[in-house]
Structure 1
Amino acid sequence: MGRLIRRVKATKIDVGGNRRVVREEALAVEEPLEIRLGHESFTVTMRTPGDDFDLVAGFLVSEGIVFDPDQLISLRFCAGEDENGQQTFNVVEAQLRPDVAMPLPAAQRHVTTSSACGICGTASIDAVHKSSHFAVTAPVDQVLIAADVLAALPETLREQQKLFEKTGGVHAAGLFAPDGELLMLREDVGRHNAVDKVVGASFRERRLPLSETVLQVSGRASFELVQKAAMVGVPVLAAVSAPSSLAVELAQSSGVTLVGFSRGETLNVYTHPGRIG
């Protein structure tokens, strides 16, 4: 975890005991990642290093740029050095098949990227539907997962978060089978990056569409996370916190079962509850 954690000194103040203690803290690393399509810079996102090829592949899928692994010819790190002459591994170049339409760079799409909110090249819910190649096909009135199994997923996710255990400062996305088996987990300082890493790994392993899976995320369920789930056919998206109003609208129209406040004993199902037994 050398590139994932940075140790810094912090002063811990005990207000009640009127004490100060200087000690070392482990922080999750956040660094920029430039994504290039061919030799052209496409966008820059802030992320926790690790699983960068999965992140780039998932981002391209979530943006509707690719949907078939054969469309992504190669991924490679480009040269980049820090002030000490060490390779930073902060630039990834993706080579797309010649017939794949090249999208506009982020700067021309008038969007911003950070670890808090990902890039979304779509301007409306209709645009999401038009760009998705994997519709959610699981019937909305057919039970996919039992409520008690679903309610236990956040704890399973938390138990497997190795980076969070050390830093307390990253989000996680976990892909689960309907019986609660953890299929894949990724961590990142950004919620959307964690999901893109799961999507990208599934894409590169030729698992898409994810039509019989449940995606469990830490934090809240934003429009973007529902969009990413819908783009790869995930029928159930569950979050430990609240969804936004637009997330509920998109989940309803795209056929995604959206669950919020999933915290062990209770959960709220906002759309298509028939999949929850």
Structure 2
Amino acid sequence: MVRLTARTRVHTFGPEGEIRARADKLAGEEPLEVQLDGEQFTVTMRTPGHDVEMVLGFLLAEGVLTSADQVREIDFSSGLDPDGRRNYNVAKVSLRPGTFDPAAYGERKVYTSSACGICGTASIEEVRKTSAFPLFAPLTGMPFVSPATVLSLPDRLRDAQSLFDSTGGSHAAGLFRVPSDAVAEPELLVVREDVGRHNAVDKVLGWALQQGLLPLSGTVIQVSGRASFELVQKAGMAGIPVLSAVSAPSSLAVELGRDTNVTVIGFNRGKTFNAYSHPERIG
């Protein structure tokens, strides 16, 4: 059982052939099976920790949940190692009646890697979800967030990445509440880390779901990697109007941002950034 981090031995090689053996620390990665009302829904790879948040956020992003009250129980007691010890790698989710219709949802294949949050979806038609918290196109001349605020987010996220500091092997997502006067410093609500960038976002969304904060219409989510389709979709499913990433967005991420009224920001590294959709929110 690995858990949050694991220690290992590594050999470091230098340019002149020198070799140094030393101890190192790795970010944990273990499978998590999610069952809905007794039926297997998916298996995803993740860094253990904040697993209830991750399950809630994942189900929100999948369009299964809109409120934490729709969940009766999440039971981790049935996950066992081959030697019989509990590993908490199976989440049995019991939903309240009427919450989820498997026939209307469609088929989902079981395995999802830590690099992809939609890899288990059975068909291309089922990839795109409809949000219960739709965003409206912003009006020109009514900016939501200042450029200076956006530029401050990557450093503030990086300062909170304790798992990355110890392993160098995790992604992060941070949720910031934007001040109404656009001058005060944004409030950092929560940061979560994981080997999978989509898992980090799911943990943030699950935290917000537990806190009863949805829709997250007054927030920006900052992520440590690139802006993929799945991350833009997750933001939209939670009603987050702005997704900011330190790296590039994909073409489909930008297209989805334009269609769902999410402002997609890329290459935000503290000095400049690019707005690929709905730049009128920034001013």
Change over 3 Å in CA distance of 1:221–1:154 after alignment to 2: same
Map 1:105-144 to 2 at 5 A.
108-110=107-109, 112-119=111-118, 121=121, 123-124=124-125, 127-128=128-129, 131-137=130-136, 139-141=138-140, 142-144=142-144
Q: Show structure 1 runs of 5+ residues with no match.
A: none
- Show the counterpart of 2:39: 40
- Show the counterpart of 1:81: 80
In 1, the alpha carbon distance for the partners of 2:63 and 2:161 equals: 29
Counterpart of 1:88 in 2: which secondary structure? coil
Deviations 1:222-241 (A, max 9, x none): 00000000111100000000
Shift of 1:107: 11
Change over 3 Å in CA distance of 1:127–1:166 after alignment to 2: closer
- Show the counterpart of 2:98: 99
Change over 3 Å in CA distance of 1:197–1:140 after alignment to 2: farther
Counterpart of 1:82 in 2: which secondary structure? coil
Aligned pair count? 272
- Structure 2 counterpart of 1:218, from 221, 224, 232: 224
Percent of counterpart pairs with the same letter? 51
Counterpart of 2:112 in 1: which secondary structure? coil
Instruction: Please tell me whether the aligned partners of residues 112 and 119 of structure 1 are also in contact (alpha carbons under 8 angstroms).
Output: no
Change over 3 Å in CA distance of 1:275–1:124 after alignment to 2: farther
Shift of 1:108: 4.1
Deviations 1:138-187 (A, max 9, x none): 73532111111111101100000110110000000000011422111110
Counterpart of 1:109 in 2: which secondary structure? coil
Residue 181, structure 1, aligned to residue 187, structure 2: yes
- Show the counterpart of 1:259: 265
Give the aligned CA root-mean-square deviation in angstroms.
2.1
Deviations 1:27-84 (A, max 9, x none): 0000000001122221100000000000000111100011122211121213222244
> Given the two structures, how large is their TM-score scaled by the length of structure 2?
0.90
Q: Show structure 2 runs of 5+ residues with no match.
A: 179-184
Shift of 1:126: 9.5
In 2, the alpha carbon distance for the partners of 1:107 and 1:135 equals: 22
- Show the counterpart of 1:248: 254
- Show the counterpart of 1:164: 164
Instruction: Please tell me whether the aligned partners of residues 43 and 107 of structure 1 are also in contact (alpha carbons under 8 angstroms).
Output: no
- Show the counterpart of 1:153: 153
Residue 229, structure 1, aligned to residue 228, structure 2: no
> Given the two structures, how large is their TM-score scaled by the length of structure 1?
0.92
Residue identity matched to 1:41? Q
Please, which moves more after superposition, 74-83 or 173-182?
74-83
Counterpart of 2:34 in 1: which secondary structure? strand
